[in-house]
Amino acid sequence: VFFWYVFFQEMEKLVACVQKRPDALCRLICFPWAGGGTLQLAQWSQCFNDSIEVFCIRFPGRETRLKEPFAKDMTSMANEVASVLLKELKEKPFAFFGHCFGSQLSFATALHLKEKYGLEPVHLFMSGASAPHSEGFLAIKSIPISDTKDEEIIAYIKTLGGTPSELLHNEDIRKQMVLTFKEDIRVLQTVSFEKAEMDPPFSCDITCFNGSDDKLGDVQAWQELTSGDTSFFELPGGHFYLLEPSNESFLTKHITRCIENAGL
């Protein structure tokens, strides 16, 4: 009984699930962006039919995990997701969707699951992100985050869009957002994935989405990471193109189609 209680607590802490669908054929695990919470992606469950159950991952240091220390590195975050969700992931097929920071965490989690447990998603959906072994991603590692002033971070958050301006006018919320964003960038800087001269780590299909105005480098490099098919879609908008209702509709319909075509 104690084990189940602890397990339930860990699940409740880590996962936001707005609509439980115990009979779903597949789970879509969503990983939010840097500085973000579960609010938007957890609501995606309303866009999917009964065959897909949506889990959204909640990172430490925000929402109901506000009192927890921020994660120190990507490996520990990937390990937490893998260990807490292991029973669920063994139970039925799953797919991952990540945006920006969430793409890197979903990739790290998928890699850990493959190497340690031989588990693989039926599909990886990457959004707004350069591949982790690419030049475009390596640029993130050179950001001197400790020396970056709060005002500069707020200005950057504004240029990205996706954050309601009234939130940025509240000093307490603004401070917390800057802190969370900085800590998430620090975690991103701990990613070290070297694409060795070996076979690609995955065999599932990968779909990459990004906004047409989002200047991303090396999106194409994702295709080096799977022996499956890789497809690329550019949708109108900037970094947070996915918050536009028309784009959200395209994404959720396309994800549904990919999962249904995976022959589960």
pLDDT at 140: 84
| C-alpha–C-alpha distance, residues 122 and 106, integer Å | 13
Residues 73, 104 contacting (CB under 8 angstroms): no
Of 32-36, 111-115, 143-147, 212-216, least confident by mean pLDDT is 143-147
- DSSP conformation class of 164: -
Tell me what the mean pLDDT of segment 21-29 comes to.
96
Provide the angle, in degrees to the nearest 10, between the axes of the packed helices 2-14 and 74-91: 120
How many angstroms separate the most distant Cα atoms in the chain?
52
Query: Per-residue pLDDT for 101 more than 90?
Result: yes
Does this model's pTM top 0.85? My answer is yes
Instruction: Determine whether domain 1-262 maps to CATH 3.40.50.1820.
Output: yes
Q: Does 168 have pLDDT greater than 80?
A: no
Nearest to 210 by CA among 188, 231, 241: 241
